[in-house]
């Protein structure tokens, strides 16, 4: 069972790099192992969030899209 999301970030209307900056700010406020959910409408976010996770050592647990809105779930790994 996946842990509950403890933080949500909604940078809709903002473009790169703001969604990943907001994700970084949120992930520093939670405990290792906890999840952050990000909602964005930036079409470049799929590559940006995946690259951010790889570069920072956090885990992209899930991602989905509904029309022009993208949702990501990221686990704090360190």
What structural domains does the chain harbor? 5-75 (3.30.110.40)
Ranges 23-27, 42-46, 50-54, 57-61: which has the least confidence: 42-46
As a whole-number percent, the residues of the chain with pLDDT over 70 amount to 97
Q: Are strands 5-9 and 59-66 parallel, antiparallel or unpaired?
A: unpaired
What is the structure's pLDDT at 3?
A: 74
Helical H segments across 1-78, by residue range: 18-27, 45-56
Kindly name the residue from 14, 16, 21, 73 that is annotated as catalytic: 16
Provide, for the chain, the percentages of residues in helix, strand and coil under a 3-state DSSP scheme, each rounded to the nearest 5. Answer: 30, 35, 40
What is the structure's pLDDT at 54?
A: 97
Do 4 and 32 touch, CB atoms closer than 8 A? no
53 catalytic? Reply is no
């Amino acid at each position: 069972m996946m842990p509950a999301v403890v933080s949500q970030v909604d940078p809709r209307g903002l473009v790169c790099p703001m969604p990943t900056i907001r994700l970084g700010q949120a992930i520093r406020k939670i405990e290792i192992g906890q999840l952050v959910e990000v909602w964005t409408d930036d079409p470049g976010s799929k590559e940006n969030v995946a690259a951010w996770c790889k570069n920072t050592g956090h885990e992209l647990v899930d991602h989905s899209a509904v029309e022009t809105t993208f949702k990501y779930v990221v686990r704090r790994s360190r």
